[in-house]
Structure 1
Amino acid sequence: MTRYKNLDDQLADLNIEEEENEDFIFEDGVEEQVNRYELCLIGRFLTEKNINTRTMTTKLADIWKPMMGVNIKEIDPGIFLFKFYHREDLLWVCNGGPWSFDNAMLVVSKIPVGEEPLNVPLWSLEIWIQIHDLPKDFMSEAVGK
Protein backbone atom coordinates (compact mmCIF):
# COMPACT_ATOMS: atom_id res chain seq x y z
CA MET A 1 0.00 0.00 0.00
CA THR A 2 2.88 2.39 0.72
CA ARG A 3 4.14 1.88 -2.80
CA TYR A 4 0.88 3.22 -4.22
CA LYS A 5 0.80 6.07 -1.75
CA ASN A 6 4.34 7.01 -2.74
CA LEU A 7 3.35 6.93 -6.40
CA ASP A 8 0.33 9.16 -5.68
CA ASP A 9 2.63 11.62 -3.90
CA GLN A 10 5.00 11.63 -6.88
CA LEU A 11 2.14 12.21 -9.33
CA ALA A 12 0.81 15.05 -7.16
CA ASP A 13 4.23 16.75 -7.35
CA LEU A 14 4.43 16.34 -11.12
CA ASN A 15 4.45 19.72 -12.88
CA ILE A 16 4.22 19.78 -16.65
CA GLU A 17 3.43 23.47 -17.04
CA GLU A 18 7.06 24.32 -17.79
CA GLU A 19 7.24 21.71 -20.55
CA GLU A 20 3.95 22.76 -22.18
CA ASN A 21 4.85 26.42 -22.25
CA GLU A 22 8.36 25.81 -23.54
CA ASP A 23 9.15 27.87 -26.62
CA PHE A 24 11.08 26.52 -29.55
CA ILE A 25 14.70 27.55 -29.44
CA PHE A 26 16.52 27.95 -32.71
CA GLU A 27 20.26 28.28 -33.24
CA ASP A 28 21.70 31.75 -32.65
CA GLY A 29 23.60 33.58 -35.36
CA VAL A 30 21.83 31.84 -38.22
CA GLU A 31 19.47 33.77 -40.43
CA GLU A 32 15.92 32.64 -39.69
CA GLN A 33 14.90 32.50 -43.35
CA VAL A 34 17.64 29.98 -44.08
CA ASN A 35 17.01 27.21 -41.59
CA ARG A 36 14.56 28.21 -38.89
CA TYR A 37 12.26 25.32 -39.81
CA GLU A 38 14.87 23.02 -41.36
CA LEU A 39 14.27 20.24 -38.85
CA CYS A 40 10.54 20.91 -38.47
CA LEU A 41 7.39 19.43 -39.90
CA ILE A 42 3.98 21.03 -39.90
CA GLY A 43 0.97 18.79 -39.54
CA ARG A 44 -2.69 18.35 -38.79
CA PHE A 45 -5.01 15.44 -38.15
CA LEU A 46 -7.83 14.66 -40.58
CA THR A 47 -10.62 14.81 -38.04
CA GLU A 48 -13.25 17.21 -36.78
CA LYS A 49 -12.83 16.19 -33.14
CA ASN A 50 -10.35 17.82 -30.80
CA ILE A 51 -6.99 16.13 -30.37
CA ASN A 52 -5.69 15.64 -26.84
CA THR A 53 -2.31 17.27 -27.38
CA ARG A 54 -0.65 15.82 -24.30
CA THR A 55 -1.69 12.25 -25.11
CA MET A 56 -0.84 12.63 -28.81
CA THR A 57 2.61 14.03 -28.01
CA THR A 58 3.39 11.11 -25.71
CA LYS A 59 2.03 8.50 -28.12
CA LEU A 60 3.85 9.80 -31.20
CA ALA A 61 7.12 10.14 -29.29
CA ASP A 62 6.71 6.51 -28.16
CA ILE A 63 6.03 5.34 -31.72
CA TRP A 64 8.68 7.45 -33.46
CA LYS A 65 11.38 6.97 -30.79
CA PRO A 66 13.51 9.88 -32.06
CA MET A 67 17.21 9.59 -31.14
CA MET A 68 17.53 13.22 -30.15
CA GLY A 69 13.91 13.91 -29.23
CA VAL A 70 11.00 15.81 -30.70
CA ASN A 71 9.12 18.84 -29.46
CA ILE A 72 5.48 19.09 -30.50
CA LYS A 73 3.56 22.33 -30.14
CA GLU A 74 0.08 23.34 -31.28
CA ILE A 75 0.70 26.64 -33.08
CA ASP A 76 -2.89 27.15 -34.24
CA PRO A 77 -6.05 25.20 -33.39
CA GLY A 78 -5.50 21.76 -34.89
CA ILE A 79 -2.13 22.67 -36.47
CA PHE A 80 1.01 21.20 -34.93
CA LEU A 81 4.69 22.03 -35.33
CA PHE A 82 7.01 19.04 -34.89
CA LYS A 83 10.59 20.14 -34.15
CA PHE A 84 13.21 17.42 -34.41
CA TYR A 85 16.79 17.66 -33.19
CA HIS A 86 18.35 15.25 -35.68
CA ARG A 87 17.88 15.06 -39.46
CA GLU A 88 17.56 11.25 -39.42
CA ASP A 89 14.60 11.47 -37.03
CA LEU A 90 12.80 13.90 -39.33
CA LEU A 91 13.51 11.78 -42.41
CA TRP A 92 12.34 8.62 -40.65
CA VAL A 93 9.00 10.25 -39.81
CA CYS A 94 8.61 11.65 -43.34
CA ASN A 95 9.35 8.30 -45.00
CA GLY A 96 7.77 5.97 -42.45
CA GLY A 97 4.17 7.10 -42.57
CA PRO A 98 1.34 7.39 -42.92
CA TRP A 99 0.80 8.06 -39.23
CA SER A 100 -2.39 8.25 -37.22
CA PHE A 101 -3.56 8.98 -33.72
CA ASP A 102 -6.96 8.15 -32.24
CA ASN A 103 -8.20 6.92 -35.67
CA ALA A 104 -7.28 10.22 -37.34
CA MET A 105 -4.70 10.34 -40.12
CA LEU A 106 -1.81 12.77 -39.67
CA VAL A 107 -0.91 14.92 -42.67
CA VAL A 108 2.64 16.25 -42.34
CA SER A 109 4.77 18.37 -44.61
CA LYS A 110 8.21 19.89 -44.62
CA ILE A 111 8.21 23.67 -44.42
CA PRO A 112 9.80 25.28 -47.49
CA VAL A 113 12.58 27.82 -46.86
CA GLY A 114 11.13 31.26 -46.18
CA GLU A 115 7.57 29.94 -45.87
CA GLU A 116 5.44 30.49 -42.78
CA PRO A 117 4.27 27.17 -41.29
CA LEU A 118 0.59 28.18 -41.30
CA ASN A 119 0.76 28.82 -45.06
CA VAL A 120 1.78 25.23 -45.90
CA PRO A 121 -1.19 23.31 -47.40
CA LEU A 122 -2.15 20.22 -45.38
CA TRP A 123 -5.00 18.72 -47.37
CA SER A 124 -3.63 15.55 -48.97
CA LEU A 125 -1.88 12.38 -47.95
CA GLU A 126 -0.15 9.75 -50.07
CA ILE A 127 -0.97 6.19 -49.05
CA TRP A 128 -0.63 2.74 -50.52
CA ILE A 129 -3.64 0.48 -50.72
CA GLN A 130 -3.83 -3.24 -51.40
CA ILE A 131 -6.85 -4.81 -53.08
CA HIS A 132 -7.28 -8.58 -52.99
CA ASP A 133 -9.04 -10.78 -55.56
CA LEU A 134 -9.19 -8.06 -58.21
CA PRO A 135 -10.28 -9.41 -61.63
CA LYS A 136 -7.44 -9.47 -64.18
CA ASP A 137 -9.20 -6.96 -66.43
CA PHE A 138 -8.91 -4.36 -63.66
CA MET A 139 -5.18 -4.83 -63.07
CA SER A 140 -3.88 -1.81 -64.96
CA GLU A 141 -2.43 1.56 -64.10
CA ALA A 142 -5.34 3.36 -65.80
CA VAL A 143 -7.92 1.52 -63.66
CA GLY A 144 -5.84 2.21 -60.57
CA LYS A 145 -5.84 5.93 -61.28
Structure 2
Amino acid sequence: MADSLLAKLGDLTFTAEEQDAVVVTPDAVAIPAEDFASSLVGKVVSPPTVDGSQLIRKFRSIQKDDKVLSISEINPNFFLISFASPANRTNVLKLGPWNFQKYWFALEQADPNWTIHDYSFLHMCIWVRIHNIPLSLMTAALARVLRALVGKVIMTDTCCVI
Protein backbone atom coordinates (compact mmCIF):
# COMPACT_ATOMS: atom_id res chain seq x y z
CA MET A 1 0.00 0.00 0.00
CA ALA A 2 2.84 2.40 0.85
CA ASP A 3 4.37 1.84 -2.59
CA SER A 4 1.11 2.66 -4.38
CA LEU A 5 0.69 5.80 -2.28
CA LEU A 6 4.22 6.92 -3.15
CA ALA A 7 3.52 6.26 -6.84
CA LYS A 8 0.38 8.44 -6.67
CA LEU A 9 2.31 11.20 -4.91
CA GLY A 10 4.90 11.11 -7.68
CA ASP A 11 2.18 11.86 -10.22
CA LEU A 12 1.02 15.01 -8.42
CA THR A 13 1.27 18.27 -10.32
CA PHE A 14 0.50 21.80 -9.25
CA THR A 15 -1.47 24.42 -11.13
CA ALA A 16 0.20 27.73 -11.89
CA GLU A 17 -1.78 29.31 -9.04
CA GLU A 18 -0.65 26.63 -6.57
CA GLN A 19 2.99 27.16 -7.51
CA ASP A 20 3.01 30.82 -6.46
CA ALA A 21 5.17 31.38 -3.41
CA VAL A 22 3.64 32.95 -0.35
CA VAL A 23 5.95 35.46 1.32
CA VAL A 24 5.10 36.51 4.86
CA THR A 25 7.15 39.06 6.72
CA PRO A 26 7.26 38.44 10.48
CA ASP A 27 6.58 42.11 11.22
CA ALA A 28 3.21 41.86 9.53
CA VAL A 29 1.91 38.85 11.45
CA ALA A 30 3.94 38.39 14.63
CA ILE A 31 3.02 39.30 18.17
CA PRO A 32 5.25 42.28 19.09
CA ALA A 33 8.33 41.14 21.02
CA GLU A 34 7.64 43.62 23.83
CA ASP A 35 4.35 41.81 24.56
CA PHE A 36 6.38 38.79 25.63
CA ALA A 37 7.87 40.74 28.54
CA SER A 38 4.48 40.28 30.23
CA SER A 39 3.83 36.70 29.10
CA LEU A 40 4.35 33.19 30.37
CA VAL A 41 4.09 29.82 28.73
CA GLY A 42 2.61 27.06 30.81
CA LYS A 43 2.43 23.33 30.46
CA VAL A 44 0.42 20.86 32.49
CA VAL A 45 2.95 18.09 33.03
CA SER A 46 0.73 15.03 32.95
CA PRO A 47 0.28 11.88 30.88
CA PRO A 48 -3.38 12.57 30.06
CA THR A 49 -4.48 15.64 28.14
CA VAL A 50 -6.37 17.97 30.44
CA ASP A 51 -9.40 20.02 29.47
CA GLY A 52 -7.78 23.30 28.49
CA SER A 53 -11.00 25.29 28.86
CA GLN A 54 -11.28 24.10 32.48
CA LEU A 55 -7.72 25.19 33.22
CA ILE A 56 -8.36 28.59 31.63
CA ARG A 57 -11.53 29.11 33.71
CA LYS A 58 -9.74 28.02 36.90
CA PHE A 59 -6.73 30.27 36.25
CA ARG A 60 -9.00 33.23 35.51
CA SER A 61 -10.93 32.60 38.74
CA ILE A 62 -7.68 32.78 40.73
CA GLN A 63 -6.22 35.79 38.91
CA LYS A 64 -8.22 38.99 38.53
CA ASP A 65 -9.34 39.82 34.99
CA ASP A 66 -7.54 43.17 35.05
CA LYS A 67 -4.24 41.32 35.56
CA VAL A 68 -4.64 38.58 32.91
CA LEU A 69 -5.18 39.86 29.37
CA SER A 70 -5.49 36.49 27.65
CA ILE A 71 -4.93 32.76 28.05
CA SER A 72 -4.72 30.60 24.95
CA GLU A 73 -4.27 26.85 24.64
CA ILE A 74 -1.78 26.61 21.78
CA ASN A 75 -1.25 22.86 21.97
CA PRO A 76 -2.72 20.16 24.20
CA ASN A 77 -1.62 20.95 27.78
CA PHE A 78 0.38 23.98 26.54
CA PHE A 79 -0.75 27.57 27.15
CA LEU A 80 0.30 31.15 26.44
CA ILE A 81 -0.70 33.61 29.18
CA SER A 82 -0.46 37.38 28.65
CA PHE A 83 -0.55 39.68 31.65
CA ALA A 84 -1.32 43.37 31.93
CA SER A 85 2.21 44.05 33.17
CA PRO A 86 5.53 42.33 33.85
CA ALA A 87 4.81 42.82 37.58
CA ASN A 88 1.62 40.73 37.27
CA ARG A 89 3.61 38.01 35.49
CA THR A 90 6.32 38.05 38.16
CA ASN A 91 3.72 37.83 40.92
CA VAL A 92 2.22 34.68 39.39
CA LEU A 93 5.68 33.09 39.27
CA LYS A 94 6.31 34.00 42.92
CA LEU A 95 3.00 32.47 44.01
CA GLY A 96 3.90 29.09 42.48
CA PRO A 97 4.35 26.26 42.16
CA TRP A 98 0.98 25.80 40.49
CA ASN A 99 -0.99 22.63 39.92
CA PHE A 100 -4.09 21.64 38.01
CA GLN A 101 -6.02 18.43 38.72
CA LYS A 102 -3.08 17.24 40.86
CA TYR A 103 -0.58 17.74 38.02
CA TRP A 104 2.20 20.31 37.98
CA PHE A 105 1.36 23.39 35.89
CA ALA A 106 4.85 24.50 34.93
CA LEU A 107 5.36 28.15 34.00
CA GLU A 108 8.27 29.82 32.22
CA GLN A 109 8.95 33.26 30.79
CA ALA A 110 7.74 33.38 27.18
CA ASP A 111 10.42 33.89 24.55
CA PRO A 112 9.23 35.29 21.20
CA ASN A 113 11.92 33.37 19.29
CA TRP A 114 11.25 29.93 20.77
CA THR A 115 8.93 27.22 19.50
CA ILE A 116 6.90 25.13 21.94
CA HIS A 117 9.56 22.43 21.62
CA ASP A 118 12.29 24.74 22.96
CA TYR A 119 10.75 24.85 26.44
CA SER A 120 11.95 22.13 28.81
CA PHE A 121 9.90 22.63 32.01
CA LEU A 122 12.53 20.71 33.95
CA HIS A 123 12.75 23.02 36.96
CA MET A 124 10.33 24.38 39.50
CA CYS A 125 10.58 26.57 42.55
CA ILE A 126 9.42 24.91 45.74
CA TRP A 127 9.48 25.86 49.37
CA VAL A 128 11.36 23.40 51.59
CA ARG A 129 10.75 23.37 55.32
CA ILE A 130 12.59 20.95 57.56
CA HIS A 131 10.99 20.04 60.89
CA ASN A 132 12.27 18.55 64.12
CA ILE A 133 15.90 19.51 63.86
CA PRO A 134 17.55 19.14 67.28
CA LEU A 135 18.40 22.52 68.77
CA SER A 136 22.10 21.66 68.84
CA LEU A 137 22.02 21.25 65.03
CA MET A 138 20.18 24.49 64.22
CA THR A 139 23.34 26.13 62.93
CA ALA A 140 24.44 28.05 59.87
CA ALA A 141 26.73 25.09 59.06
CA LEU A 142 23.76 22.70 58.84
CA ALA A 143 21.85 25.28 56.78
CA ARG A 144 24.73 25.32 54.26
CA VAL A 145 24.78 21.49 54.10
CA LEU A 146 21.02 21.33 53.52
CA ARG A 147 21.15 24.08 50.89
CA ALA A 148 23.68 22.03 48.93
CA LEU A 149 21.34 19.01 48.95
CA VAL A 150 18.24 20.65 47.47
CA GLY A 151 19.69 22.19 44.30
CA LYS A 152 19.77 25.86 43.37
CA VAL A 153 18.58 27.95 46.30
CA ILE A 154 16.90 31.26 45.55
CA MET A 155 16.30 32.42 49.10
CA THR A 156 16.83 31.18 52.65
CA ASP A 157 14.97 32.24 55.76
CA THR A 158 17.47 31.90 58.57
CA CYS A 159 15.42 33.49 61.34
CA CYS A 160 15.64 30.36 63.46
CA VAL A 161 19.30 29.49 62.84
CA ILE A 162 21.47 29.82 65.92
Identical residues among aligned pairs (%): 20
Deviation at 1:93, TM superposition (A): 0.8
Paired residues for 1:98-117 under 5 Å = 98-112=97-111, 114-117=113-116
Paired residues for 1:1-145 under 5 Å = 32=31, 34-112=33-111, 114-135=113-134, 136=137, 139-144=142-147, 145=149
What is the identity, as a one-letter code, of the residue corresponding to 2:129? Q
Q: How many residues align?
A: 118
CA distance in 2, matches of 1:82, 1:67: 13
Report the structure number with the largest CA radius of gyration.
2
Match of 2:155 in 1: none
Greater mean deviation of Cα atoms: 114-123 or 90-99: 114-123
Q: What 5-or-longer segments of structure 2 have no aligned partner?
A: 1-26, 150-162
CA distance in 1, matches of 2:68, 2:32: 23
Match of 1:8 in 2: none
CA distance in 2, matches of 1:112, 1:106: 18
Deviation at 1:37, TM superposition (A): 2.3
Deviation at 1:108, TM superposition (A): 0.5
Match of 1:24 in 2: none
- Quick one: higher RCO (CA 8 Å, sep 6+), 1 or 2? 1
Deviations 1:68-92 (A, max 9, x none): 4332222122211112233332121
CA distance in 2, matches of 1:39, 1:95: 14
Say if 1:117 and 1:39 are closer, same or farther in 2 by CA, change over 3 A.
farther
C-alpha RMSD over aligned residues: 2.8
The answer to whether the 8 A contact 2:52-2:76 is kept is no
Taking structure 1 as the reference length, the TM-score comes to 0.65
Greater mean deviation of Cα atoms: 111-120 or 55-64: 111-120
Deviation at 1:66, TM superposition (A): 4.3
CA distance in 2, matches of 1:70, 1:134: 45
What is the identity, as a one-letter code, of the residue corresponding to 1:139? L
Taking structure 2 as the reference length, the TM-score comes to 0.59
What is the identity, as a one-letter code, of the residue corresponding to 2:55? M
Deviation at 1:52, TM superposition (A): 1.6
